[in-house]
Amino acid sequence: MGNVLLGPEPEAAQGANGVLRKGMRVQTQYTIDEGGDGRWYQGKIKRLYEGNKVKINYDDGDTWKGSAAYVWSMSGSPPPAQQAAMMGAGPPVMQATVVQGVAVGASVQLPNIPPSEVAVGNEPCCPVCTENKMDMAFQCGHRVCGSCLRGIHAASAPCPVCRTPITQVIRIFN
């Protein structure tokens, strides 16, 4: 890693064949990141915004040193966090945009069935196992099947739907 190709650079800033050699000092409109993992420059040098005149030198064969701390993409514009930091505004505030509407290709019409009536053979099914008929109810009004109730009671667990402590169980007969 003795040589790293920089470009496009003003000719005065380039060494022989456009290569910045170890220990060479230049004035340029591009800079190298002072932070990070120190290995990002392998194969790529990223361009900064114009007007940032800095001294760059290649130090100890593995680290770049410069007077600026930000490197951005080839477009030349800094990321929002760096722009805000340069302007003294702090990090940007994230904003979410809520988009409402129908997804493209969503043409399937689903029947409007209340959740309590979704079950095998129009019988409401247990919300815990989703297989058996609900035949037990708690004081909060939520219902489960008998086999799930035994597991809930053995674990001294609360209602699996609303998490209220179970103080009363009612068996439902059909």
Q: Where are the domains of the chain?
A: 4-87, 115-171
Q: What is the chain's mean pLDDT, rounded?
A: 59
> Cα(65)–Cα(30) distance, rounded to whole angstroms?
12
> Cα(26)–Cα(74) distance, rounded to whole angstroms?
21
Tell the residue number behind the tokens 């904003």, with chain if given: 95
> Cα(124)–Cα(132) distance, rounded to whole angstroms?
8
Q: Is pLDDT at 118 greater than 50 in this prediction? A: no
Q: What is the pLDDT of residue 101?
A: 53
137-167, pLDDT tens digit by residue?
888 888 898 889 888 888 888 888 888 898 8
Asked whether the beta carbons of 137 and 168 are under 8 A apart, the reply is no
Helix (H), strand (E), coil (C) string for the chain: CCCEECCCCCHHHCCHHHEECCCCCEEECCCCCCCCCCCCCCCCCCCCCCCCCEEEEEECCCEEECCCCCCCCCCCCCCHHHHHHHHCCCCCCCCCCCCCCCCCCCCCCCCCCCHHHCCHHHCCECCCCCCCECCEEECCCCEECHHHHHHHHHCCCCCCCCCCCCCCEEECCC
Confidence of residue 97 (pLDDT cuts 50, 70, 90): low
Q: What is the pLDDT of residue 169?
A: 87
Q: What is the pLDDT of residue 112?
A: 59
Which CATH superfamily groups domain 115-171? Zinc/RING finger domain, C3HC4 (zinc finger) (3.30.40.10)
Confidence of residue 132 (pLDDT cuts 50, 70, 90): confident
Supply the pTM of this predicted model. Answer: 0.31
Confidence of residue 2 (pLDDT cuts 50, 70, 90): very low
